[in-house]
Amino acid sequence: MTDELIIKDLHVSVEGKKILNGVNLVVRKGEVCALMGPNGSGKSTLAFTLMGHPNYIIDKGEAWYKSQNIFELSPDARARLGIFLSFQYPQEIPGVSVSNFLRTAYNAVKPQKISVPDFVKLLKDKMKLLKIDDSFSRRYLNEGFSGGEKKRTEILQLAVLQPDMAILDETDSGLDIDSLKIVAEGVNTLLGPNIGVLVITHYQRLLNYITPDRVHIMVKGKIVKSGGKELAHELEAKGYDEYVEEPEVEA
C-alpha cells in the first residue's frame, strides 16, 4: 500500500561493520509504531539509513514508500516525499533563527513556496497548538537551548512541515520527567489518520505518554519480537536479555 513504509530484508554496514542484519518492518499511516532495543542494537542506524546518511552502506534490502524504493532517492527527495526525521542530538546553528530555519525547511520540501506573512501565521498557529511562547521563534536554532527545548524545536518542526511519515529517534533521550511529558504531549497533539510515526526508544517510559499501536524489539540488528503495547511493559519488567537469542520474526 502506498501509505505504508515497508522495509524488506535490510542489511546495513558502517565503516565495514555489519549493523543491520535483515530488518523487516512495516509502519502504517495513522499508526504509532515503537522500535525498542538495547544500546547498539541498530535502532538509530535504521533511522539514518532511511533518511539517506552517506556513511550507512546498504548491503541488501529495500524500503518502499508511496510506490517508490526510497533508497533510490536522494535525502532531499525523501523529505519531499513526506518522510521526516527528528534527531536524537539536534545541532546548534548560531545566527539562524528558529523561524527562518523552519521557513527555509518548509520551502525546501513543499511543492509550493509559502509567503512570509502566510508562514508567520502558520508558525504562530503551530506554536499555539504546542503551547510554545512566541519568543521561541526568534532565538537562534538550538543555541543555548536546554535538552527539552531542543526536542520541542524538533516537534515544532514536525508540526510545521506536516510530513506523512515521521521517524522520532530517541526523542526522550536526556529529558527529565517534566520535559518528557511536554514533548510527548506535543507529539500526541500531532497524531492522527494522516501521519504514520516510528518512535525509536530505549526505555518504556516514553510509551507511558505516547501509546503505540505496535511494538517491535530490535537486538543485534534484527527484529526479534513484535506485539502490541503490552510488549513495552513486558520489557520494562524483564529487560532485553531473554530476546538476545530469539529468532527473527516478520513485522
Q: Domain containing 36 — which CATH number? A: 3.40.50.300
Q: What is the mean pLDDT of residues 146-170?
A: 91
Is residue 65 classed as helix, strand or coil in its secondary structure? strand
> Which amino acid is located at 65 in the chain?
Y
Indicate whether 103 belongs to any domain. yes
Indicate whether 251 belongs to any domain. no
Angle, helices 147-161/116-129, rounded to nearest 10 degrees: 120
Indicate whether 159 belongs to any domain. yes
CA distances, 141 to each of 17, 76, 114, 172, 205 (Å): 34, 20, 20, 19, 27
Helix segments in 1-51, DSSP class H: 43-51
Number of domains in the chain: 1
The predicted model scores a pTM of: 0.89
Q: What is the mean pLDDT of residues 87-107?
A: 91
Indicate whether 250 belongs to any domain. no
Distance CA 166, CA 82 (A): 8
23 vs 175, higher pLDDT: 23
Whether 14 and 45 have beta carbons less than 8 Å apart is answered as: yes
pLDDT of residue 200: 94
Indicate whether 249 belongs to any domain. no
Q: Is 214 exposed, middle or buried (0-12, 13-18, 19+ CB in 10 A)?
A: buried
For residue 18, give its domain range. Answer: 4-243
Q: What is the mean pLDDT of residues 175-193?
A: 89
> Which amino acid is located at 78 in the chain?
R
Q: What is the mean pLDDT of the chain?
A: 91
Helix segments in 83-146, DSSP class H: 98-109, 116-129
pLDDT of residue 251: 44
Lowest average pLDDT, out of 12-16, 161-165, 218-222, 242-246, goes to 242-246
pLDDT of residue 245: 59
Indicate whether 104 belongs to any domain. yes
